[in-house]
Structure formats: C-alpha cells, structure tokens
Amino acid sequence: MRFMIIIKASQDSEAGVMPSEELLTAMGNYNEELAKAGILLAGEGLHPSSKGARVRFSGDKRSVTDGPFAETKELIAGFWLWQVKSKEEAIEWVKRCPNPMPGTEPEIEIRQVFEMEDFGAEFTPELREQEERVFGQGKKC
C-alpha cells in the first residue's frame, strides 16, 4: 500500500523561514531510516504558497489565482510517498518523525494512494496498458 504523508504548513513555512541545521539533520536522519526500511519512495519540501498558483475550473473556463493563499492550516509544506503494509504502519512511522515545525503544534496527514485495482471493472485492460505506458512499470496508478 502506498501512502502520501502530508506535512501541513505553518506561519513560518508560509513566510519562507528555512529550517535550522538541527532540524535538517534530524529530518535527514529520519529519511535515512525510512530509506533503510525500504518504504521511502519520494519526499520533498515545498516553497511557500506565495510562489504558487491555483487554477479554478468552471465548465470550459479556467481562472488562475496567484498565491499566497489565506488559510495556512489548509496548505501543504511538504510530503513523503511511502510503501508500507498498512495505515497503522504509516502511523507508527509518522509518530517517530521529528517535529517538522518546531515551536508549533503541526499536523501530518496520512492519505492512501489509489492503486489500479481500486478502480474496479471501469479500469479496463486498455486503460491499464495506457497507465503503464505513461507512468512506467514501477508505478501503480
């Protein structure tokens, strides 16, 4: 099972405050543990929303809004993508994570990633072939 681990933004991360050397070291060590355990597929920090944009869909029309975005608690500061056996295993790994936003009470959200088999009969063999062609053999939808 794959899970996306979402690190919620804080006022500091949205202000562009960079992590300390101590936090970078702790996160580097944590990432090494994840890699050695064979569960780390990807992981990155994100620039503040002030450097981003949102595209809103309304029928055939698209409108673009540049950041920053108001609700800091709903924004993402970074993520990991993990391959684990269960949501419970993902929870146990998150509980071992260094506090990503020292001096605050951040939240880390855990969301399961859809796999091809989750889509049922609607995901035809032709769609499966297309998915594998587009994303490669290692990716599962």
Q: How confident is the model over 91-120, as a mean pLDDT? A: 93
For residue 118, is it within any domain?
no
Q: How far apart are the C-alpha atoms of 2 and 124, rounded to whole Å?
A: 22
For 97-111, give one letter per residue: b (16+ CB within 10 A) or e: beebbeeeebebebe
Q: What is the pLDDT of residue 2?
A: 97
For residue 38, is it within any domain?
yes
Residue 20 sits in which domain range? 2-113
pLDDT band per the 50, 70, 90 thresholds, residue 136 = confident
pTM reported for the whole predicted model? 0.86
Q: What domain count does the chain have?
A: 1
Q: How far apart are the C-alpha atoms of 26 and 19, rounded to whole Å?
A: 11
At 110-132, the pLDDT tens digits run 999 998 889 989 999 999 899 88
**CATH number of the CATH domain containing 100:** 3.30.70.1060
Q: What is the pLDDT of residue 140?
A: 53
For residue 141, is it within any domain?
no
